[in-house]
A = this chain, B = another copy of it.
């Protein structure tokens, strides 16, 4: 497996535009543990940032409070390791603004790679995604909350990543599990066996 020194990989957790159980487009509520778990995985696997995407001001305020508790508040003293993870978090209104923020870092506008629990025609494998990162191209890997990213969002992406299959027909992992597994498949360093 190829090891990247520093892949230009960014993650986004989108709370909008996502769909509810009935397929209607909504802005979902932020889940505390999504942010912790995904930030810790991003830090562990050397991705460059985790964008929490929500246009809702109260939800943005909630994320800011959570992140500052662990990065500059008492949480940073209680558990400095959590600080190192949560300082990877950036808040943006939209996926477009997350892409613009990446471009402002001087790495160019990223390709958008979206994830889904369902199969989509033309989806790319982990291996092809790894090849893409090896070209040095910045990529924003997007995870949806609620019942997943909206159809328009999926269609506007540059690539759709093939879904994770386990060992059964059941494929209802949490977004926290899916993020961890995809980062491990993409960038992980299995022990010498």
Contacts and interface: CB of A to CB of B under 8 A. Distances in A.
A189 B176 contact: no
Contacts of A187: 166-167
A191 interface: yes
Interface string A166-179: 11101111101111
Given A126-B193, A193-B126, A188 B174 contact: no
Contacts of A166: 41, 44-46, 183-184, 187-189
A185 interface: yes
A192 interface: yes
B167 A188 contact: yes
A30 interface: no
A85 interface: yes
A46 B167 contact: yes
Contacts of A44: 166-168, 170-173
Contacts of A74: none
25 contacts: A33-B176, A37-B177, A40-B173, A40-B174, A41-B177, A44-B167, A44-B168, A44-B173, A45-B167, A45-B168, A46-B166, A46-B167, A81-B172, A85-B172, A125-B192, A125-B193, A126-B191, A126-B193, A165-B188, A166-B187, A166-B188, A167-B188, A173-B180, A176-B177, A177-B179
6 A-B pairs with the lowest CB-CB distances in the bound complex, closest first: A127-B193, A44-B166, A177-B180, A46-B167, A45-B166, A37-B174
